[in-house]
A = this chain, B = another copy of it.
């Protein structure tokens, strides 16, 4: 009966990629803990890059700097 929540930035993940995340996360719970896939729920949240921060700055800013030649 596990519940898995995956949060990623909204940067174009396709429906097929999201389906793969759901398949893979469900299988992981089966493989490691023997959980029943029928009641395993996976929810993916896609978050705007303005709304996600790491190291005190938004992903928008980090992506912009990376594109400008930084890392």
Interface of A toward B, CB cutoff 8 Å: 1-9, 13, 15, 17-29, 31-33, 35, 37-47, 50-61
Contact = CB atoms under 8 A, between A and B. Distances in A.
Given A6-B29, A19-B61, 9 more contacts: A4-B7, A7-B43, A22-B58, A23-B56, A39-B55, A41-B52, A41-B54, A42-B54, A45-B47
Contacts of A29: 6, 8, 21
Contacts of A7: 2-5, 43
Q: How many identical subunits does the complex contain?
A: 6
Given A19-B58, A25-B25, A57-B22, A1 B41 contact: yes
B43 A47 contact: yes
